[in-house]
Amino acid sequence: MTWELRVGAVQMRSTGDLMTNLTTCGALTAQAAAEGAQLVVLPENFAFLGRGEGDKLPIAENLDHRTGPVMTMLRDLATKHNVWMVGGGTPETVPGDTKRTYNTSITIDPRGNLVGRYRKIHLFDIDIPGGATLRESDGTAAGEDLVVIDIGGAPVGMSICYDVRFPELYRKLVKDLGAQVLLVPSAFTAHTGAAHWHLLLRARAIEDQAWVVAPAQWGKHNEKRESYGHSLIVDPWGTIVGEREEGDGVVMATLDSATVDKRRAQMPCLRHAVLWK
């Protein structure tokens, strides 16, 4: 199936103020829609980025209820602008667990329907050299399921931030589930981003011969957190076709199946690949 998809990757600097963050999402979505976006992808932590893992618990939503401020915003933006919305990572309640949430990427279609959710599988528990100690698992439950969603005819594979360091996830999204676009909404730390962000995203695009869309958080959120920025869109050859280093804004690009097909025909790596058990 052939497809073409105009995508806007949003870059923003979230804080602990939910309503201010949602207002920013609305303004940047409107900007992307004005530039022809059919799909708008928000970064990880678009709704909230606090000082500690426990800070997000009060704003976590049961996504099935559809009436919380985050879900309401996503649905309203999708229908207002006639776009697909991907909220790239927001706290979702865990049934029976009052101390943890899922970190969930939400996909809303242009009619305002929840059509898919991906719960972050790999949790960021790390002591950053020369930086902070972060324990995402202190307040987050890991997901289990791989997710590919048909968005305007494009098979789109879902992931979040730290997932990008695990190439086997993306290979399964592509080889087993047919993804041709890979989303990596992120809040990469300034330290690790400077070292690895571009390398990892370009590597995932090259080895899986897929488009990669990576909206990002940028700048200093509070005294404990600073994000790298550099929202990127990368083509299946590993070429960066759009980037925003810092500041709020939107990275735009038109993705298509023809480019995927061309690169996979020229370099048939996926046909040669062996999935080891």
Q: Are strands 226-228 and 218-220 parallel, antiparallel or unpaired?
A: antiparallel
Q: What is the DSSP letter of 53?
A: G
Residue with tokens 């594979």: 157
What six digits make up the tokens of 19?
Answer: 């309503």
Of the candidates 44, 53, 61, 136, the residue annotated as catalytic is 44
Active site residue 245: no
- Strand, helix or coil at 43? coil
Contact 43, 248 (CB under 8 A): no
* Cβ-based neighbours of 261, under 8 Å, separated by 6 or more: none
Q: How many CB atoms lie within 10 A of CB 52?
A: 14
Active site residue 120: yes
- Strand, helix or coil at 188? coil
Active site residue 80: no
CA distance 178 to 174: 5
Of the candidates 25, 56, 61, 120, the residue annotated as catalytic is 120
CA distance 86 to 117: 9
194: left (phi over 0), alpha (psi -120 to 50) or beta: alpha
Q: Are strands 114-119 and 97-108 parallel, antiparallel or unpaired?
A: antiparallel
Of the candidates 56, 136, 161, 226, the residue annotated as catalytic is 161
Q: What is the DSSP letter of 16?
A: S
User: Where in the sequence numbering do the catalytic residues fall?
Assistant: 44, 120, 161
